[in-house]
Amino acid sequence: MPGQLTKLVYASTLALLVALSYGCKEKYEQKKLPPADTVEVALPVRKDVEVWDSYTARIEGVKSVQIRARVSGYLEKIMFTDGDYVQQGDVLFQIDPRPFQAIAEACKASVMETNARIELARSNLKRAEELFAQNAISKEVYETRKSELLSAEAVLISDKAKLKEAELDLEFTRITSPISGYVSRRLVDEGNLINASSTLMASVVSRDTVYAYFEISERDIIKYNKIRLFDTIDSKKRQGPPVRLKLLDEIAPSHFGQVTYVDNTLNASSLELRAEIDNSSGALYPGMYATVELRAGAPAKRLLVPEAAIGTDLVGRFVYIVNSDNIVEYRAVTAGELVGKLQVVTAGLDGSEKVVVNGLQRAAPKKKVTPVLKKL
């Protein structure tokens, strides 16, 4: 009996020592676990934000002309450097004027000769009138003198018309720019034979204002009709709903204008609109593509989060949110326009989520963190 008691005491003591040892080990291991990383989180805010719909637009020049000669001849001189900005009326090309000068001089001589004939005819007619009044000549002779004057006056009209035509042809040897704008590279060289109307010599494009053409869907047409957006467009006054435009490398729009034209027919279930964009900076070139944003009605409530809270991966835009167990979750979102340092989120959030706004580098999906709530 005493032996059994000794064994029982020994076993109990051993069990107690094992338990104490396990407890100490567990506490030690708990002390070794690193603390959860701290991240700042915030609830998305709701604000009245202007609604802007985005479309892909192509840029075209408001004024674009092809330079062709009105007369044929050999090109004597080129008066510009490729890419120059030229004013309306600046001389671009000079065709050899000498043949046209000779024709103009000949026409002037014809006019002078005909004027002399007219003076002689008038003198003869005056003499004939006096003789006819004295019955010294027949009426037939008198009518002949009168006809000679009328014929000479008709010839003078024809000669003056030919002289005017010759002077115009001479003037057309100086080929000028019909608009102010940027001239293209020259397509001919000095010494080339230029054929009137058929030889393309260069082109000039005005870029002070450019057109942005874009297409909207039937769904958007219905939406805009409900808010009577198209009723605000006045093509004659070149007024309409505001638009803003950004290039591929721009985060925020930097060019502004307004819609001034709506097509009258749908093309493949879309409707073409045209906006006039101020291009005083010269950054927009015909042929470029850009994103144009059209203001679609009055301001509306939108969810916003800090721009820095939105990340980008191969799939698209995303944010990290912290759930009730302080575990980080990945959430795909659709980002809208920037409003200061905040960015609109059009899809992916309902406003109740705790969004990681600072410390994204310390957050990762399924990771436990210590959130610190921040007010936006």
**In terms of pLDDT, which residue wins out, 119 or 298?**
119
- H helix intervals, the chain: 2-32, 98-133, 139-172, 218-226
Name which of 250, 357, 247 is nearest 311 in CA terms: 357
Q: For residue 347, what is the enclosing H or E element?
A: strand 342-347
Distance (Å, whole) CA 286 – CA 184? 12
One-letter amino acid for residue 328 of the chain: V
Is residue 217 domain-shared with residue 100, that is, in the same domain?
no
Is residue 97 domain-shared with residue 128, that is, in the same domain?
yes
Q: Do the Cβ atoms of 328 and 356 come closer than 8 Å?
A: yes
Q: Which of 248, 280, 295 is the last residue of a domain?
A: 295
Q: For residue 276, what is the enclosing H or E element?
A: strand 270-278
pLDDT band at 28 (very low <50, low <70, confident <90, very high): very low
pLDDT in tens, 207-256: 889 999 999 999 899 989 988 888 888 888 888 899 999 998 887 888 99
Distance (Å, whole) CA 43 – CA 53? 25
Is residue 151 domain-shared with residue 186, that is, in the same domain?
yes
Whole-model pTM: value is: 0.60
Is residue 94 domain-shared with residue 194, that is, in the same domain?
yes
Q: Token match 């674009």: residue?
A: 64
Q: Which of 244, 273, 295 is the last residue of a domain?
A: 295
CATH code of residue 344: 2.40.420.20
Q: Picking from 100-109, 311-320, 337-346, which range would have the lowest pLDDT averaged per residue?
A: 337-346
Average pLDDT over residues 183-190: 95
Query: Coil, strand or helix: which one is 213?
Result: strand
Q: Do the Cβ atoms of 74 and 191 come closer than 8 Å?
A: yes
pLDDT band at 2 (very low <50, low <70, confident <90, very high): low
Is residue 283 domain-shared with residue 347, that is, in the same domain?
no
Structural tokens at position 370: 């210590």
CATH code of residue 195: 2.40.50.100
Asked whether residue 312 is domain-assigned, the answer is yes
CATH code of residue 213: 2.40.30.170
Asked whether residue 187 is domain-assigned, the answer is yes
Q: For residue 292, what is the enclosing H or E element?
A: strand 289-295
Is residue 73 domain-shared with residue 155, that is, in the same domain?
yes
When the pLDDT of each residue in the chain is averaged and rounded to a whole number, the result is 88
Is residue 313 domain-shared with residue 365, that is, in the same domain?
yes
pLDDT in tens, 84-123: 999 999 999 999 999 999 999 999 999 999 999 999 999 9
Q: For residue 205, what is the enclosing H or E element?
A: strand 200-217
Average pLDDT over residues 304-321: 91
Asked whether residue 19 is domain-assigned, the answer is no
Asked whether residue 24 is domain-assigned, the answer is no
Residue 45 Cα distances to 322, 331, 338, 341, 355, angstroms: 17, 17, 14, 13, 11
Query: Coil, strand or helix: which one is 32?
Result: helix
Is residue 153 domain-shared with residue 250, that is, in the same domain?
no
Q: Which of 244, 271, 295 is the last residue of a domain?
A: 295
Distance (Å, whole) CA 65 – CA 376? 54
Distance (Å, whole) CA 198 – CA 205? 20
Is residue 218 domain-shared with residue 173, that is, in the same domain?
no
Domain count of the fold of the chain: 3
Beta bridge partners of 194: 73
Average pLDDT over residues 151-171: 96
Task: Name the most confidently modeled range: 11-25, 71-85, 266-280.
Answer: 71-85
In sequence order, the 6+-apart residues with CB closer than 8 A to the CB of 142 are 128, 129, 131, 132
pLDDT at 93: 98
Q: Token match 């990340």: residue?
A: 311
Domain around 238 = 53-61+205-295
Say yes or no to pLDDT of 25 above 80.
no
Asked whether residue 41 is domain-assigned, the answer is yes
Say yes or no to pLDDT of 127 above 70.
yes
Asked whether residue 93 is domain-assigned, the answer is yes
Is residue 164 domain-shared with residue 220, that is, in the same domain?
no
Distance (Å, whole) CA 111 – CA 166? 12
Count of other CB atoms within 10 angstroms of residue 156? 17
